[in-house]
Structure 1
Amino acid sequence: MGTVSLPDTWVYALRLPYDPRAARVARMTVRAALDGHGRHELVGDVELLTSELVTNAYRHTRGPCSLRLTALADGRLRVGVWDSHPHIPAAFAEPPGGAPEHTAPAPPGAGGGRGLHLMREYAHSWGGWSLGDGGPLGRGAGKLLWFEVGGP
């Protein structure tokens, strides 16, 4: 009988309802998936960045969002969050390093404005794709924002 080894690549996808608890559910999912695959070193960073993207999806849309975790063969982890709003935030429209390095930090107590700083601090790369506005019916195809951590 041969030994079965788990593959280095895997994918998890989760559809999250429009609910203020979605970011918490996303964090719990990230933790369970990474712990289950022995990627404990990534949990804190991935939970933080995933929570940022899912919270923004909740704040700026009125519909569900989707979370996708993809482990790549070279040790990187790619996290994508889809939502129904087609607008790509400026920080995600530029390649890493393409956005101004010296953006003003969010003032203490501000309810937002920290996303770009968090991405710069914890992600190796990030970006976004607009999937369109859904045409004349207004049923938005939305956008996908993503980041990668880990790897070489």
Structure 2
Amino acid sequence: MSETWDYTLYIPNDLRAVTVCRRTLRMVLTLHGLIRLVDTAELLATELISNAVRHTKGPAALRVRRTPQGLVWIGAWDTDPGPPQPPQPLDQISEMAEDGRGLALIRACADYWGWQPSGRFGDRGKYVWCELEAV
């Protein structure tokens, strides 16, 4: 069984918070000896949190935890309970497209991903999450 831990960072609806989340995630993973996951985890968290901030009007949260199975779970919570748009394959997204890459990158880089409705922070909303194998 792996060491387990769980961190949550609550953020305002402000694109500058994406940088705060990315740097916090880097520190958490580094302090827990998971430096090999940092680059991929930062990319995934950036896409998750960017989507939460850009596509909703309320606050958001980044949650990162290590599961007993040894997975690193990264989730972005936002106040919109509706499902995210299904990702297209990366090779079908135009190089000039300004939107649409986020979930495609998550699908391509994460071991698992998904979404679920959530009322965790007292508001209706959803988590969009992904997992990386850390074992």
Normalising TM by the smaller chain, what interval? Answer: 0.7 to 0.9
Q: Which runs of 5+ in 1 are unaligned?
A: 1-6, 92-98, 133-138
Output the TM-score relative to the length of structure 2: 0.87
1:145 aligns with 2:119: no
Equivalent residue in structure 1 for 2:72, among 77, 84, 100: 77
How far apart are the structure 2 equivalents of 1:54 and 1:66? 8
Q: How much does 1:106 deviate? A: 2.2
The two structures, once aligned, show a CA RMSD in angstroms of 2.2
Q: How much does 1:75 deviate? A: 2.0
How far apart are the structure 2 equivalents of 1:17 and 1:116? 22
How far apart are the structure 2 equivalents of 1:20 and 1:30? 16
Equivalent residue in structure 1 for 2:94, among 101, 107, 112: 107
The list of structure 1 runs, each at least 4 consecutive aligned residues, that deviate by more than 2 angstroms after superposition, is 102-106
Q: Secondary structure at the match of 1:68?
A: strand
> How many corresponding residue pairs?
132
Distance 1:24 1:103, change over 3 A: closer
Q: Which runs of 5+ in 2 are unaligned?
A: none
Instruction: Give per-residue Cα distances to partners, 1:115-147, cap 9 Å, x unaligned.
Output: 232122211111111237xxxxxx951111111
Equivalent residue in structure 2 for 1:56, among 51, 61, 81: 51
Output the TM-score relative to the length of structure 1: 0.78
Q: How much does 1:14 deviate? A: 0.6
Q: How much does 1:104 deviate? A: 5.3
Equivalent residue in structure 2 for 1:65, among 57, 60, 67: 60
Q: How much does 1:20 deviate? A: 1.4
Partners of 1:57 and 1:65 within 8 A in 2: yes
Identity %: 39
Instruction: Give per-residue Cα distances to partners, 1:46-88, cap 9 Å, x unaligned.
Output: 1001000110111111111011111112321001111001111
How far apart are the structure 1 equivalents of 2:13 and 2:19? 12
Partners of 2:115 and 2:126 within 8 A in 1: yes
How far apart are the structure 2 equivalents of 1:83 and 1:56? 9
Q: Secondary structure at the match of 2:82?
A: coil
How far apart are the structure 2 equivalents of 1:120 and 1:144? 15
